[in-house]
Amino acid sequence: MRKIDIFDTTLRDGEQSAGINLNTAEKIEIAKQLERLGVTIIEAGFPASSPGDFDAVNRIAGTVKNSIVTGLARCVQKDIDTTWEAIKVAEQPHIHVFLATSPIHMEYKLKKSPEQVVEQAVEAVKYAKKLFPLVQWSAEDGFRSDRDFLVKIIGEVIAAGATTINVPDTVGYASPQEYGELFKFLRENVRGADQVKFSAHCHDDLGMATANSIAAVENGADQVECTINGIGERAGNASLEEIGVALHIRKDIYPFETGLNLKEIKRTSQLVSRLTGVVIQPNKAIVGRNAFAHESGIHQDGVLKNPETYEIISPALIGEDDVPLVLGKHSGRAAFRDRAVKMGYDLSDDKLNKAFAEFKKLADRKKEITEEDLVTLLTEQQVLIEDVALYELKSVQVQYGTENIPTATVAVTTPTGEIATSAATGAGSVEAIFNTLEQLVGGTVNILDYRVTSVGKGRDALGEAVINLRYNGYTTTGRDAAQDVLEASAKAYLNAINRQLIQASIRAHQPTV
Ligand SMILES: CC(=O)SCCNC(=O)CCNC(=O)[C@H](O)C(C)(C)COP(=O)(O)OP(=O)(O)OC[C@H]1O[C@@H](n2cnc3c(N)ncnc32)[C@H](O)[C@@H]1OP(=O)(O)O
Ligand SMILES: CC(C)C(=O)C(=O)O
């Protein structure tokens, strides 16, 4: 099988994503994980761009042993010298020099003629080659460049000593067919093409980065440049996990070997997400939270009978634990029964059907059915429990003024059916309400977390309050929504207390599960 080198640029092009700024320690941690993942080359940064980038590239070059470490440089001596200072500690020093070749970049950005660009590229590669055994040269905006010009300049940089030629689709404009054809054309027409590696570097502006990278590989590229989770400038780069897994899963049509240790993918993806702060979209291929989550009844039924009915990738392939079937409003009896059995419940068909009917009602109201919800539903069917009396909010009133101490007066119906009223002050309106409710429910309540968010948009959006509290030695989360955030907060508080009452009753009746 033909070897395809994975050139990871998470730490360079990935860090060029708006809002990402990694420090040296974070970059080293990611680089070590990329090494475990088995990438061929790690582009650790752009050493001449800042002392921080220099330091990170230098430390990574001295740390990573099983992947080649490279740094980006413009075609200027100062950048190349700085990159050498950063990279020379590496076992196989590698540099990535680039210069734009498209008419628009040459005329407006570089303000140079095509002849001057050829000269600058050749000089830079010759200079770099005196220092580095491995020199990659990139024709920035290569896809939008004139093909004859590409043939000429690439031929000349190969003669000058380049060992890899990268032809990026810098602005994500190519289609898979066009990008593939470009590689075929260059392989067939560039002088010295057989002496170098060709590399693909795709951006995802039109959502085609992965497809374009694979088209390049099919047409002669030996290396693909990509990032973890597809992060990168603008819409991002081709995503490493998509390329690696696609080539593996479809090796029937892609007979290529990447050398990646696919089991490290999930861990790498989560590390990058955590350190960059870039949340992975739930439906992101391969690494999204929902990538292996079957929610609908017909799919779940099929997967239970044979996972391959709906699963082309096993979660274990990328190092992900078994993903339990998601129980939601589209789930069917088969998935519900499967979960009940896995949780240790042994219900008759009749009881299971009753629990399932309750589950469907709840799923219509709630986005996510938690394990705790299921315990409640299933235990209610397993044993008969008496109705649990709960607290109910009757009224809440707050006196607030910038010159006054906020005071809340709250009335509730207690589990014994009485109406109880109390009042208390607090540093703010919410604290005054919580202090009053604490008096009403009795005992000590510790608020562990409290958040208010708006549900929907606009002035009339509902406020949703979520509160996590500890009461009677147990922790529960309550939530509620109301037009007013103070009312929502009071209801969420009582909801959390009520859930404890329900849980206490269930615990008293629950079999060992
Ligand atoms: C497609 C890509 O992803 S390319 C990589 C993009 N990454 C980055 O730019 C991140 C790091 N960049 C930086 O920190 C800064 O831009 C620096 C340090 C590199 C340069 O900063 P400055 O000297 O202030 O220049 P500035 O960024 O304003 O402009 C870039 C200059 O480099 C020139 N240039 C651009 N690409 C190249 C190149 N490949 N080779 C040589 N010169 C280049 C531009 O023409 C411009 O020159 P000018 O000032 O004579 O017009
Ligand atoms: C420097 C080059 C390879 C680049 O990042 C691009 O063209 O997108």
The interface pTM score, or ipTM, of the predicted complex is 0.97
Could you tell which of 11, 16, 72 is best to mutate to test the pocket of ligand 2, judged by most ligand atoms within 8 Å of the CB? 72
Q: How far is the CA of 73 from the centre of ligand 1 (A)?
A: 9
Sign of CA dihedral 342, 346, 350, 351: negative
Ligand 1 environment, Cβ below 6 A? 13, 16, 46, 49, 74-76, 98-99, 109-110, 140, 170, 233
User: What are 418-441's pLDDT values in tens digits?
Assistant: 999 999 999 999 999 999 999 999
| Domain 2-276, CATH homologous superfamily name and number | Aldolase class I (3.20.20.70)
Domain span(s) for CATH 3.30.160.270 in the chain:
392-509
Could you tell which of 10, 12, 16 is best to mutate to test the pocket of ligand 1, judged by most ligand atoms within 8 Å of the CB? 16
Tokens of 192: 């010295």
- Whose tokens are 């989770």? That residue is 229
Residue nearest to atom 19 of ligand 1 (CA): 49
Looking from the CA of residue 170, the nearest atom of ligand 1 is 1
203 is in an annotated binding site: yes
Looking from the CA of residue 138, the nearest atom of ligand 2 is 3
Tokens of 389: 């009396």
Q: Spelled out in words, what is the top-level CATH class assigned to the domain 392-509?
A: alpha beta
Residue 96 and residue 84: Cα distance in Å, rounded?
11
Could you tell which of 12, 46, 145, 203 is best to mutate to test the pocket of ligand 1, judged by most ligand atoms within 8 Å of the CB? 46
User: What are 40-71's pLDDT values in tens digits?
Assistant: 999 999 999 999 999 999 999 999 999 999 99
pLDDT band per the 50, 70, 90 thresholds, residue 370: confident
Q: Write the CA distances from 513 to 340, 378, 380, 482, 509, integer angstroms.
A: 10, 11, 14, 36, 12
User: What are 123-158's pLDDT values in tens digits?
Assistant: 999 999 999 999 999 999 999 999 999 999 999 999
User: What are 73-99's pLDDT values in tens digits?
Assistant: 999 999 999 999 999 999 999 999 999
User: What are 20-40's pLDDT values in tens digits?
Assistant: 999 999 999 999 999 999 999
Domain span(s) for CATH 3.20.20.70 in the chain:
2-276
Q: What pLDDT sits at residue 513?
A: 45
pLDDT at 295 over 60: yes
Q: How far is the CA of 279 from the centre of ligand 1 (A)?
A: 29
